[in-house]
Structure 1
Amino acid sequence: MKRILLISVILLLATALLADSVAILSASKGKVSLERALKNLKFKNGELLQNKDVLRTGAESFAAYKYIDASSMIKLFSNSVVTVNASKEGGKLSKKVNVTKGSILTQVKKGSGTFTVQTPTTVASVKGTEFLTKVDDDGFSTFTVTGGEVELRVLETDRVQTVGKGKTGIVSPDGGIRVRVSSADDLDEIQKAELESAQSEEREPIIVPVLDDAGNRKLIEIHY
């Protein structure tokens, strides 16, 4: 409980002091890159992420980040490309994850502002749920829901389809959509993803930049 409270304080501090920061990189393993304004940056766990930052993972690699409102966790798996997006709306953080390729596991709390995941073919809107998103090399987008429900909107046709717990929605490159009961293979992949996440969660100090009374930038190192 103390650890959860401390992390919440850290996130609130980052929100108040750094308007450009929208998330925190909480874990990484293997070949992971961070791109900002078309430049690759050096980073470590605890790095503050900004709007439109791009995360890439290579083979046998993993990364995870949390939005600064402590509402959601995004876990990237091998060979994935994700763009981090967020903006303030009505006092809450409106969050969007763009998945160009690969797979991510999304965990979202209820009542924490709008949250969407967008692939090349589909926008998935969520309100308190857990689901796996995959974009394969053939252009298919797959959404496997393990908690709550996800509303899928196909960009090509504007067709809307709700996918509930225990179901998988598949959107083809031409905009076709079908929903089926999640298979054992779908669930096995989620379980494997969670295991990889637990093994990769190497905690490091979080470095938070702050401004003192004179306007000088300083760094605070927080262990949790």
Structure 2
Amino acid sequence: MKKQVIILAATALCAIGLSTSANAQNAPVGNATNAIGELVIVRTDGVQQRLQGKGNVPLYEGDVVKTDSSSQAMIEFVDGVTVALNENTSFKLLSRWEKDMPVVRILRLKQGEVWAKTNGGPKRFEVETPVATAAVKETEFNLKVQDDGQSILTVIEGVVSFGTPFGTCPIRTDTISYGVRGKKCTKPAATDAKAAKSWMEALRTPVK
């Protein structure tokens, strides 16, 4: 069975590619800036680097970043996207280029929960899960992947295009939607969106 995370990329494969070039590897795509507990960064050559507390560890195309059961972390992309990782979260950093268009930053979320916010105007940013893809330009949202792959998207501000191989739904401010294997995402329902990000507030609290 083919993986279902190909959703939004399938329509333009002739003009789009995931970067594996040496130039992309050499240019940082962002930095890990804070970790409660420990953030583990696995480079493409298998070398691991770790962050504990405040710091500024460069992140590169192809890196895998992950937290354990007692860790959370914050990363900042160079183009103005902020991402927080909850406990037991793992994703791979990727990018996609389209002709005459800004680069698309991609998180391939294997497991766990992330909060993300774009800053300084619209950004091209996607989070892929085993069953769905969330594509954004200017928004704040929380996305959680359950053990069975079910993906729970909560939009705190803005609009997120939430897609599976069976269709794409626009999910708006203060609503929640579920992406499950073999189905279209659920109709957005009203929710207390701000409560969805309460887990990451400690990451934003200044150290005294």
TM-score scaled by length of structure 1? 0.72
* Residue 74 (str. 1) matches residue 89 (str. 2): no
Map residues 186-197 of structure 1 onto 2, 5 A cutoff: 187-193=194-200, 195-197=201-203
TM-superposed CA distance for 1:190, in Å, is 1.2
Residues 106-154 of structure 1 show CA distances to partners (whole Å, capped at 9, x for unaligned) of: 1013645421111111111111000000001122101000100001110
TM-superposed CA distance for 1:176, in Å, is 3.7
Assess, with a 3 A threshold, how the Cα gap between structure 1 residues 32 and 182 changes in structure 2: closer, same or farther.
farther
Query: Structure 2 CA distance, aligned partners of 1:173 and 1:75?
Result: 25
Between 1:31-40 and 1:101-110, the stretch displaced more is 31-40
Letter matched to residue 30 of structure 2: A
Match of 1:167?
A: 175
Match of 1:153?
A: 163
Contact 2:43–2:62 (CA under 8 A) maintained in structure 1: yes
Letter matched to residue 183 of structure 1: T
* Residue 198 (str. 1) matches residue 198 (str. 2): no
Query: Structure 2 CA distance, aligned partners of 1:76 and 1:187?
Result: 16
Gaps of 5+ in 1: 1-17, 204-224
What is the aligned length? 180
Query: Structure 1 CA distance, aligned partners of 2:122 and 2:194?
Result: 26
Match of 2:185?
A: 177
Structure 1 counterpart of 2:124, from 111, 114, 126 = 114
Query: Structure 1 CA distance, aligned partners of 2:202 and 2:155?
Result: 19
Give aligned-pair identity as a percent.
19
* Residue 33 (str. 1) matches residue 43 (str. 2): no
Query: Structure 1 CA distance, aligned partners of 2:161 and 2:127?
Result: 10
Bigger Rg, structure 1 or 2: 1
Query: Structure 2 CA distance, aligned partners of 1:147 and 1:197?
Result: 20
Query: Structure 2 CA distance, aligned partners of 1:118 and 1:30?
Result: 25
Query: Structure 2 CA distance, aligned partners of 1:189 and 1:112?
Result: 22
SS at match of 1:31: strand
Match of 1:143?
A: 153
Letter matched to residue 82 of structure 2: M
Query: Structure 1 CA distance, aligned partners of 2:203 and 2:72?
Result: 8
Query: Structure 2 CA distance, aligned partners of 1:115 and 1:122?
Result: 14
TM-superposed CA distance for 1:100, in Å, is 0.7
Match of 2:11?
A: none
Contact 1:50–1:84 (CA under 8 A) maintained in structure 2: yes
Query: Structure 1 CA distance, aligned partners of 2:143 and 2:119?
Result: 17
Contact 1:23–1:66 (CA under 8 A) maintained in structure 2: yes
Query: Structure 2 CA distance, aligned partners of 1:162 and 1:188?
Result: 21
Contact 1:93–1:113 (CA under 8 A) maintained in structure 2: no
Structure 1 counterpart of 2:30, from 13, 23, 26 = 23
Gaps of 5+ in 2: 1-24
Query: Structure 1 CA distance, aligned partners of 2:92 and 2:44?
Result: 12
Query: Structure 1 CA distance, aligned partners of 2:183 and 2:120?
Result: 29
Letter matched to residue 68 of structure 1: V
TM-score scaled by length of structure 2? 0.77
Letter matched to residue 115 of structure 1: F
